[in-house]
């Protein structure tokens, strides 16, 4: 070969500005490598001013590669195995790649680590066809076998794929078993809800319910003890469904446009209700609490359905109005343990579009006066997207790359106390990028949390980039890392959820908390977070380190990603109308200003239903 810088069989290389000299035999003993192709003329060369072959790669990583070619030995303690394997793959040094793969897999196994708890393979894809009345043009199936959403209730989980949903249940003796597969739908599932404990009513006590939604349409099935499913009905909210969940036996659907849909298991009737634009919601007992665009918090007792037979409307009652009338973009209701015959304290933490966090409190003996403002925090400069008030902590998340602020909550006899009140605890971020084209999953399946019971430590789940096989579990109170989980088969994680399954009937058996991951290949993988929480105190690491973060970011095209939209409170950005025009309550028959409506009902009904909740046990 002409013009190769060499003296006899000596080859001179310039790798990233650093000069190396070696023999032709050293570079070419691995067949079909980069160097054998380079020196045979199959790859064109670029030479520096001295005639040395220039290779635009990292010289620090080339040194151990050249040493391996010289000695056929590897010293992994002095190298970054992952980075070196990437370089060895570029140069095509197959024996080195294989050795590095073995080193990299020493602490990895297809059986997972000590936290790995189970694997559910992708279900079969043989279906009966569902109702053909659904529009087929919504079936934009980029990844039909990808897990989109997982939700759980008691010892059941529901797994939503693009066009069908599968339900599993766990028993101590048999483990997880697939018990129901829906018919194939003509539209892509965006939301899923599961009720594994139907009590009373016209449905049997052993029946379960699962519902899915896409666009404006909702379909509801009941699942019999033998696993057979019966379609209850197909309903329409008439606007896009943005939240789907059960309150007791009632199926609830909401939209930011100001629509609430309710299906009642007793009446078997679906009803749509117009309210003011909805930004956030929470539940407490049989109550649905709504945070709205006009700065007000409303509640609906969905068990009293329908409440007004005259016009068949739900009774929507204003509970509280923000002093500055900012949109209520996040909401969390905490019922304190019952400490006396008078009942529970009601504590509500909420966040606003201006970034304000407030806590309001209502004592059971003062229901007539409504909740009183307890504390205000002005620590966020972006809209609050999530908030959680628990037994020991107040946690808020804003739209600035999931910036989290936490406070320690002081309680006296179970009730929030002003001495010393809520004190700042920590500040951190849960960076989580979303895929623009949706190939990384849907937003409903990748919520960061916080997850967990309110009387226990809660966690955030962090998926840094859309196409990754790795999740970080972090304490919601201080951001510390509980554990890192990695797909046992290397597939990308497209959805996740934390759920607590009930313990067995044996004495001393306790519920256990699990992280469920849905994957691009359709599988479900499970990790034991109860064990992870028990050993988490031995390490003091927060989220991804800078090195881990850069490694993850290198795996994706940042131009095709975005930080998450406000969820579940994006609605105030959709409304550009003045507050006065959005503060209207619409029934099926007329449009009335909400203030006279609320005033008229407060005269007769104000807080009567709410007081029933106050007097009930948690």
pLDDT digits (tens, 9 = 90+) for 304-357: 755 444 455 668 889 999 999 999 999 999 988 765 555 678 899 999 999 999
Q: How far is it, in rounded angstroms, from Cα 167 to Cα 160? A: 9
For residue 562, pLDDT over 50 is answered with: yes
DSSP secondary structure code for residue 223 in this structure: E
Where does residue 474 rank: exposed (0-12), middle (13-18), buried (19+ CB within 10 A)? buried
Nearest to 253 by CA among 284, 221, 199, 214: 214
How many Å from the N-terminal Cα to the C-terminal Cα in the chain?
A: 84
**Backbone conformation region of residue 303, classed left if phi is above 0, alpha if psi is from -120 to 50, else beta:** alpha
- Between residues 509 and 144, the one the model is more confident about: 144
Each residue's pLDDT tens digit, 127-143: 444 443 444 444 444 57
Query: Is 360 within 8 Å of 372 (Cβ atoms)?
Result: yes
Strand 512-519 relative to strand 524-528: parallel, antiparallel, unpaired? antiparallel
pLDDT at 455: 83
For 12, 87, 184, 309, 344, the CA distances from 17, given in Å and listed in that order, are 12, 17, 59, 83, 72
Confidence of residue 514 (pLDDT cuts 50, 70, 90): very high
Please give the radius of gyration of the chain, using alpha carbons only, rounded to the nearest integer: 29
Residue 592 has pLDDT above 90, yes or no: no
Give residue-wise pLDDT tens across range 349-403.
Answer: 999 999 999 999 987 666 567 888 999 999 999 999 999 999 899 999 999 999 9
Handedness of CA 382, 387, 389, 394 (dihedral sign): negative
**Confidence grade of residue 542 (pLDDT, cut at 50, 70, 90):** low
How far is it, in rounded angstroms, from Cα 19 to Cα 55? 10
Residues 537, 543, 545, 548, CA torsion sign: positive
Structure tokens at 511: 């519920």
**What is d(CA 1, CA 357) in angstroms, rounded to the nearest whole number?**
73
DSSP class of residue 182?
P
What is the pLDDT, as a whole number, of residue 589?
32
Quick one: what percent of the chain has pLDDT higher than 90?
A: 49
The alpha helices in 105-247, defined as continuous H runs, are: none
Distance CA 159, CA 175 (A): 17
Q: In what order do the strands lie in the sheet with 250-255?
A: 243-247, 250-255, 259-264, 269-274
Contact predicate 469/493, CB 8 Å = yes
- Sequence-distant (6+) residues with CB within 8 A of 595 are 583
Neighbouring C-beta atoms of residue 588, cutoff 10 Å: 11
Taking alpha carbons only, the member of 235, 229, 289, 292 closest to residue 262 is 235
Q: The whole model's pTM is what? A: 0.77
For residue 248, pLDDT over 70 is answered with yes
Predicted local distance difference test score (pLDDT) of residue 198 = 67
Tell me which range, 111-115, 512-516, 571-575, is most confidently predicted by mean pLDDT. 512-516
Q: What is the pLDDT of residue 604?
A: 36
> Residue 224: is its pLDDT beyond 70?
yes
Q: What share of the chain is helix, strand, coil (3-state, %, to 5)?
A: 20, 35, 45
pLDDT digits (tens, 9 = 90+) for 476-512: 999 999 999 999 988 999 999 999 988 666 666 688 9
Task: Give me the residue label for tokens 């040395």.
Answer: 52
Collapsing DSSP states into helix, strand and coil, what is residue 407? strand
Question: Which of 410-424, 505-519, 579-593: highest mean pLDDT?
Answer: 505-519
* Dihedral angle, C-alpha 19, 24, 25, 31, nearest 10 °: 100
Q: What are the CA-CA distances from residue 483 to residues 118, 348, 401, 489, 552 (Å)?
A: 17, 31, 21, 18, 17
**Which two three-digit tokens encode residue 408?**
């320690």
DSSP secondary structure, 478-509, as one string: T--EEEEEE-TT-PPEEEEEEEEEP--SSTT-
Contacts 24+ apart (CB under 8 A), 72-81: 74/99, 74/100, 74/103, 76/100, 76/103
Q: Which residue has the tokens 């509980």?
A: 482
The per-residue pLDDT for 101 is: 81
Average pLDDT taken over every residue of the chain: 80
Q: pLDDT over 70 for what percent of the chain?
A: 73
Which residues on adjacent β-strands are paired with residue 377? 357
Secondary structure of 29-80 as H, E, C letters: CCCCCHHHHHHCCCCCCCECCCCCEEECCCHHHHHHHHHHHHHCCCCHHHCC
SS3 370: coil
Inter-helix orientation angle 81-91/59-71, to 10°: 70
The residue-averaged pLDDT of 414-437 equals: 82
* Chain center to CA of 183: 26
pLDDT at 125 over 60: no
Contact assessment for residue 178 and residue 166, using Cβ atoms and an 8 Å cutoff: yes
In Å, the largest CA–CA distance within the chain is: 103
CB 454 within 8 A of CB 579: no
């Amino acid at each position: 070969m002409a013009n190769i810088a060499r003296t006899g069989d000596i080859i001179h290389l310039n790798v990233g500005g650093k000069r190396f000299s070696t023999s032709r035999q050293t570079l070419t003993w691995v067949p079909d490598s980069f160097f054998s192709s380079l020196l045979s003329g199959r790859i064109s060369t670029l030479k520096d001013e001295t005639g040395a072959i220039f290779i635009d790669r990292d010289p620090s990583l080339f040194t151990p590669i050249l040493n391996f070619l010289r000695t056929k030995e590897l010293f992994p303690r002095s190298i970054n195995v992952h980075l070196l394997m990437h370089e060895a793959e570029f140069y095509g040094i197959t024996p080195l790649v294989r050795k590095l793969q073995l080193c990299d897999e020493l602490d990895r196994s297809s059986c997972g680590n000590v936290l790995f708890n189970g694997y559910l393979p992708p279900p079969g894809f043989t279906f009966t066809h569902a109702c053909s009345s659904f529009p087929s043009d919504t079936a934009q199936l980029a990844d039909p076998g990808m897990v989109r959403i997982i939700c759980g209730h008691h010892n059941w989980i529901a797994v939503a794929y693009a066009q069908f949903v599968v339900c599993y249940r766990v028993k101590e003796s048999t483990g997880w078993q697939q018990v129901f597969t829906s018919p194939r739908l003509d539209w892509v599932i965006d939301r899923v809800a599961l009720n594994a404990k139907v009590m009373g009513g016209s449905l049997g006590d052993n029946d379960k319910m699962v519902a899915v939604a896409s666009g404006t349409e909702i379909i509801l099935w009941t699942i019999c003890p033998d696993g057979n499913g019966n379609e209850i009905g197909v309903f329409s909210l008439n606007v896009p469904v943005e939240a789907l969940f059960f309150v007791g036996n009632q199926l609830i659907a909401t939209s930011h446009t100001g629509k609430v849909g309710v299906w009642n298991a007793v009446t078997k009737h679906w009803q749509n209700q117009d309210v003011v634009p909805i930004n956030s919601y929470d539940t407490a007992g049989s109550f649905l609490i709504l945070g709205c665009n006009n700065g007000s918090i409303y509640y609906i007792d969905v068990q009293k359905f329908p409440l007004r037979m005259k016009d068949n409307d739900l009774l929507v009652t204003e509970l509280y109005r923000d002093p500055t009338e900012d949109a209520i973009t996040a909401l969390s209701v905490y019922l304190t343990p019952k400490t006396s015959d008078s009942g529970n304290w009601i504590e509500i933490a909420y966040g606003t579009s201006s970034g304000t966090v407030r806590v309001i409190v209502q004592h059971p003996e003062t229901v007539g006066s409504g909740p009183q403002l307890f504390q205000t925090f002005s620590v966020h400069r972006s809209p609050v997207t999530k908030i959680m008030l628990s037994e020991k902590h107040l946690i808020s998340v804003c739209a600035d790359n999931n910036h989290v602020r936490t406070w320690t909550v002081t309680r006296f006899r179970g009730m929030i106390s002003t001495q010393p009140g809520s004190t700042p605890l920590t500040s951190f971020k849960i960076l989580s990028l979303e895929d623009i084209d949706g190939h990384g999953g849907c937003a409903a399946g990748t919520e960061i949390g916080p997850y967990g019971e309110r009387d226990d430590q809660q966690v955030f789940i962090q998926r840094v980039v859309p196409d990754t096989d790795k999740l970080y579990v972090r304490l919601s109170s201080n951001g510390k890392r509980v554990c890192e989980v990695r797909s046992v088969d290397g597939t990308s994680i497209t959805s996740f959820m934390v759920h607590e399954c009930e313990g067995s009937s044996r004495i001393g058996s306790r519920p256990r908390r699990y992280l469920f991951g849905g994957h691009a290949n359709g599988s479900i993988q499970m990790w034991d977070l109860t064990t992870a929480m028990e050993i988490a105190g031995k390490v003091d690491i927060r989220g991804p380190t800078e090195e881990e973060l850069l490694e993850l970011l290198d795996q994706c095209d940042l131009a095709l990603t975005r930080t998450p939209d406000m969820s579940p409170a994006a609605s105030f950005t959709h409304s550009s109308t003045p507050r006065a025009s959005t503060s209207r309550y619409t029934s099926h028959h007329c449009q009335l200003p909400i203030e006279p409506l609320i005033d008229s009902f407060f005269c007769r009904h104000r807080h009567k239903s709410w007081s029933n909740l106050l007097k009930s046990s948690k």
